[in-house]
Chain A
Amino acid sequence: MQPLIAKRFRFFIRISAFLLKEMLEIMRQPLLLLTLVAGPFLILLFFGIGYRNDARALRTIFVLDDNDSAVAKKLDEYAKTLGPQLIFAGKTTDLTEAQDRLRQGEVDLVAQLPNNIYNTILNNQQAVFHLFHNEVDPFQVDYINVFARVYINEVNRRVLRLLTSEGQIDLSQAQDTIDAAKESADSLSKLLQRCAETLAEAGRGAECDSNTAMEYTQDLSQKTDELSQIIEQDLRFEEALQREFGDGESTPDAAEDEITLRQIRDRLQSLERFADDIDQYEAQLETLTKLDTDLDGLEARMQDFLNIDPNILVSPFRSEVSSIATVQYKVNDFFAPAVIVLLLQHLILTFAALSMVRERQLG
Chain B
Amino acid sequence: MEAPTNDQLVVNAQALTKSFGTVKVVQNVNFELTRGQILGLIGPSGSGKTTTVRMLVGIYEPTVGHIRVLGSRPAKFTPRIRERIGYMPQQFALYPELTVWENMNFAASIYGMTVRREKRLAELLDFVDLGPHKKKLARNLSGGMKRRLSLAATLVHNPELLFLDEPTAGIDPILRRRFWDHFKMLQQQGCTLFVTTQYVGEAAYCDNVGVMANGQLLMVESPDGLRRRAFGGEVVDMVTKERLLFKDLQQLSKLSFVQEPVTRLNDEGTGLRLVVNRASTAMPALLEWCKSEYITMVSIEEYLPPFDDVFVELVKNAATDS
Q: Is the CB of A363 within 8 A of B98?
A: no
* Residue of B109, B137, B157 with highest tally of chain A CB at under 10 A: B109
Choose one: B93, B112, B160; the contact of A13 (CB below 8 Å). B112
Q: Does B307 contact A (CB under 8 A)?
A: no
Q: Is the CB of B112 within 8 A of A24?
A: no
Q: Is the CB of B157 within 8 A of A1?
A: yes
A168 to B54, CA, bound (A): 99
A89: shortest Cβ distance to chain B, in Å?
59
Task: Point out the residues of chain A lying under 8 angstroms from B97, CB to CB.
Answer: 24-25, 28-29
Q: Give residues 76-128 of B contacting A (CB, 8 Å).
A: 83-84, 89, 91-95, 97-98, 102, 105-106, 109-115, 117, 120
Task: Point out the residues of chain A lying under 8 angstroms from B110, CB to CB.
Answer: 14, 17-18
Q: Is the CB of B113 within 8 A of A4?
A: yes
Choose one: B109, B156, B160; the contact of A17 (CB below 8 Å). B109
A74 to B106, CA, bound (A): 81
Q: Does B259 contact A (CB under 8 A)?
A: no
Q: Does B175 contact A (CB under 8 A)?
A: no
Q: Is the CB of B114 within 8 A of A1?
A: no
Task: Point out the residues of chain B lying under 8 angstroms from A28, CB to CB.
Answer: 97, 137
Q: Does A341 contact B (CB under 8 A)?
A: no
Choose one: A3, A14, A25, A362; the contact of B109 (CB below 8 Å). A14
Task: Point out the residues of chain A lying under 8 angstroms from B92, CB to CB.
Answer: 362
Task: Point out the residues of chain B lying under 8 angstroms from A80, CB to CB.
Answer: none
Q: Is the CB of A363 within 8 A of B113?
A: no
Q: Does B43 contact A (CB under 8 A)?
A: no
A90 to B93, CA, bound (A): 73
**Which B-chain residue is minimally distant from A359 (CB atoms)?**
B93
Q: Does A2 contact B (CB under 8 A)?
A: yes
Q: Does B255 contact A (CB under 8 A)?
A: no
* Residue of B97, B111, B157, B158 with highest tally of chain A CB at under 10 A: B97
Q: Is the CB of B102 within 8 A of A4?
A: no
Q: Does B59 contact A (CB under 8 A)?
A: yes
Known: A21-B102, A21-B106. A4 touches B112 (CB 8 A): yes
- Footprint of B on A, CB under 8 Å? 1-5, 7, 10, 13-14, 16-18, 20-21, 24-25, 28-29, 362-363
Q: Across chains A and B, which 5 residue pairs bring their CB atoms closest together, nearest first?
A: A17-B109, A10-B112, A25-B97, A362-B93, A28-B97
Interchain residue pairs with CB less than 8 A apart (6)? A1-B84, A2-B113, A2-B156, A3-B113, A4-B113, A20-B106
- Footprint of A on B, CB under 8 Å? 54, 59, 83-84, 89, 91-95, 97-98, 102, 105-106, 109-115, 117, 120, 137, 156-160
Given pairs A1-B83, A5-B113, A363-B54, 6 additional interface contacts (CB within 8 A): A1-B157, A2-B156, A4-B111, A7-B112, A25-B95, A25-B98
